[in-house]
Amino acid sequence: MYSLYSIQTNADRRILLSGDNKRHFNTTPIKILDAPDLQDDFYLNLMDWGHNDCLAVGLGSSVYLWNANTSKVTQLCDLSTENVTSVKWSTIGNLLAIGTSKARTILYDTATSERVRTWTTHTSRVGNLAWASNILSTGGRDHYIYHHDVRSNEAYFRRLTGHTQEICGLKWNPEGNSLASGGNDNNVMIWDSHENIILHRFSQHTAAIKALDWSPHKRGLLVTGGGTADKTMKLWNTISGNLLSSHDTGSQVCNLVWSKRTDDIISSHGFANQLATESNLIHIWKADKMEKVGTLSGHKSRVLYMSMSHDGSTIVTGAADETLMFWDLFLNEPYTRNDPEERMTCLR
């Protein structure tokens, strides 16, 4: 991630949506970052855009930080003997959690570049991290999920057992009382925040579930996406446990991000059914109808990594072609901060 160049600012703005409600999206990336050694591994999560407007990226054994306000790139750390397998910003402060190939979870204070804490609770690589206030949840290849209170000296305060294979996806809901996990065992699980209780187990996917995200607009609404043998996006009401809809995307679903500004879902993809031209794409979907309203192309290999800016205007995608691409998808949409307590409940 050593060079940065900008695509022309008058990027192609195409009208993407049939009918009366025409939508405009930038179909050309506004920036491209070189990302040498960005790993081609479906099970890793090597990129996260924090509330501090700083993008963290794991490249080989190092973590780099890109400041969106200054475009400055700095190296936070080099772990030397182990590769970075996941990165995740805390929702408060300047703390960054890093998972490694040697089963460690390391916490850094990026304001001082100092290592704050190291956990060795897992027995194999830590590919998933998720925050809920001061609680850091980690998911590993050892099938376990651990909850760590970063204020406590204890190694962890809860271990979640339920998956039988590697944890592929992990995300707390906006309220911080339910955790969604996706596994290589083709199961999605919804966990109660207070106990080791599985509220729901969804087994309708037929491949690993890495991609998942909660709606920032409707309480209890979750979207999940399956890998190469599945290729579907599914919407769930996690309050009732009902499957609301399922849509065959035609390609491996690598990431899902729910727009903060509109009720749209952005998906990034890998291997397709047949046509090579259908691989490695980014799609935009109208969530309530699961209707595709836009497609972005540019990456030459699987779009394994995706994150959204804190203000919800921009997404960044990363692929094994060793590039990060920035897309201004929702710059002209109003941004309203959603209070988790005031969100609508999913009624279906």
SS (H, E, C) 166-180: CEEEEEECCCCCEEE
- Give the percent of the chain with pLDDT over 70: 87
Query: Can you tell me the distance from the alpha carbon of 271 to that of 181, in angstroms, rounded to the nearest whole number?
Result: 23
- Residue 278 sits at φ, ψ, to 5 deg, of -90, 0
What pLDDT score does 338 carry?
56
DSSP β-bridge partners for residue 247: 233
Query: Can you tell me the distance from the alpha carbon of 303 to that of 305, in angstroms, rounded to the nearest whole number?
Result: 6
What the block records as the tokens of 4 is 């940065």
Query: Can you tell me the distance from the alpha carbon of 181 to that of 6, in angstroms, rounded to the nearest whole number?
Result: 36
Residue 92, judged by CB atoms within 10 A of its CB (0-12, 13-18, 19+), counts as exposed
State the chain's maximal CA–CA distance in angstroms: 58
What pLDDT score does 5 carry?
42
What pLDDT score does 225 carry?
98
**54-59 and 62-67 beta bridge pairing:** antiparallel
Residue in the structure block whose two tokens are 């050309």: 28
**291-296 and 221-225 beta bridge pairing:** unpaired
What pLDDT score does 3 carry?
44
What pLDDT score does 348 carry?
44
**323-328 and 314-319 beta bridge pairing:** antiparallel
Q: pTM above the 0.75 mark?
A: yes
Query: Can you tell me the distance from the alpha carbon of 193 to that of 169, in angstroms, rounded to the nearest whole number?
Result: 17
Query: Can you tell me the distance from the alpha carbon of 298 to that of 257, in angstroms, rounded to the nearest whole number?
Result: 18
Residue pLDDT, tens place only, 295-318: 999 999 999 999 999 999 999 999
What is the phi-psi region of residue 116: left when phi exceeds 0, alpha when psi lies from -120 to 50, beta otherwise? Answer: alpha
For the chain, domains (ranges, CATH) are: 1-34+249-334 (2.130.10.10), 39-161 (2.130.10.10)
What pLDDT score does 93 carry?
83
Residue pLDDT, tens place only, 101-128: 999 999 999 999 999 999 999 999 999 9
Residue in the structure block whose two tokens are 């959690």: 97
What pLDDT score does 336 carry?
55
Query: Can you tell me the distance from the alpha carbon of 21 to that of 312, in angstroms, rounded to the nearest whole number?
Result: 21
What pLDDT score does 144 carry?
98
Reported in sequence order, the residue ranges of 231-311 that DSSP labels E, i.e. its strands, are 232-237, 242-248, 251-258, 264-272, 282-286, 291-296, 305-308
- Residue 276 sits at φ, ψ, to 5 deg, of -65, -30
Given a cut of 70, the residues of the chain with pLDDT beneath it are: 1-23, 274-277, 332-348
